[in-house]
Amino acid sequence: MRTTKRFTPSVLERFRRQGRGLGTYQDYIPWHRVGRGDPSSRGRSHLQGWNGRQRELLSDHEWVMLFFAITLPSLLDIREQFPLSQEDAPSELGAYRVDVSNQLFPGTLTIAKQLGFKRPLTTDVGESDDWVMSTDFLLLLQHADGTLELIAIAVKPLGEITKKRKKELLMIEREYWATRGITWLLITPNEYDERVGINLRMNMPWALGKAVDDLAQHAAVNVVQKHPGRSLTFVLDKLSTTLGDIDLAQRAFWQAVWSAKIPLDLRRGWRPHLPIVLLPPTSFSALNPIMSRRSAWI
């Protein structure tokens, strides 16, 4: 069982001493972590390896959203459980570029005051402190022209966005990123097909397994193109004959799917005897709420 039962000012101070919320890439430390020393999340927590670091996820919903993020072709970095600055501060893009302006943008305390909302607090016996708000994911993308873009993502269950206080906190979070010119998405289970999430979870071991080379992925694309409408079992059998190994065939196929070389309709059932159905590239991209920039309303 976890030793810390609830958030208190002393817990937040411990997070600060540990350098949480600082760093980028492999050196980043999430503000909220999956461990015995942190208050537990309400859902199932997950540790998922990606790009040299364990990603710390506080629900199944966040776990699936990580997979959607990883499929973005321009993705460079993911900072999960990212803390928002309480005080006015420069843009978060400055962590990646030294030439970013030092212009200050409003912090959560300023925004709460501007919106007329009660500032979020955490309390304990005889003490209180301003709550450190966080965004579930902060993604760094690099586009074809070399420009960098940040996307902030709040991942919430449906019931949470209907409560008055939760809506106020989400409005503070949305305004925080809007003042910085950073896209903010609110993603609930309504923003994507549950079948797609299940498929991503089930084939994740191969998609995120040892990377295969371009030749192996190209072989997977060729088999699918030569045998349209055949089952996944058939395609993997053919591919394993070509590559000489069923595990390599699985990794080649699913890594080609996650990189959009094979635009598979991920709404298909999990059974391998079902036929492979391909989608137009735009329809395949539309399955991903981050790629299509879908967002719920509050």
Strands 183-187 and 148-155: parallel
Name residues whose C-beta falls within 8 Å of residue 151's C-beta, 6 or more positions apart in sequence.
Answer: 137, 138, 139, 141, 182, 183, 184, 185, 290
With beta carbons less than 8 A apart as the criterion, state whether 285 and 260 touch: yes
For each of the domains in the chain, give its residue range(s) and CATH number, in order of start.
9-191 (3.40.1350.10), 194-286 (no CATH)
Question: Longest Cα pair distance anywhere in the chain, in angstroms?
Answer: 71
CA-only gyration radius of the chain, Å:
21
- Residues 259 and 157: their CA atoms lie apart, in Å, by 28
With beta carbons less than 8 A apart as the criterion, state whether 130 and 124 touch: no
- Hey, is 155 helix, strand or coil? strand
Q: What pLDDT is recorded for position 6?
A: 77
- Hey, is 264 helix, strand or coil? strand
Tokens of 92: 């978060």
Order across the sheet with 75-83: list the strands: 75-83, 134-142, 148-155, 183-187
Q: What pLDDT is recorded for position 240?
A: 97
pLDDT in tens, 76-122: 999 999 999 999 999 999 999 999 999 999 999 999 999 999 988 88
Helix (H) or strand (E) holding 137, with range, is strand 134-142
Q: What pLDDT is recorded for position 5?
A: 58
Q: What pLDDT is recorded for position 177?
A: 98
Residue ranges of alpha helices (H) inside 116-228 are 164-179, 194-207, 214-226
Helix (H) or strand (E) holding 122, with range, is strand 121-124
Helix (H) or strand (E) holding 184, with range, is strand 183-187
Tokens of 180: 């910085």
Q: What is the mean pLDDT of each run of 10 residues along the chain (298 residues)?
A: 66 94 97 85 88 96 98 97 98 95 96 95 83 97 96 94 94 98 97 96 96 97 96 98 97 98 94 94 98 95
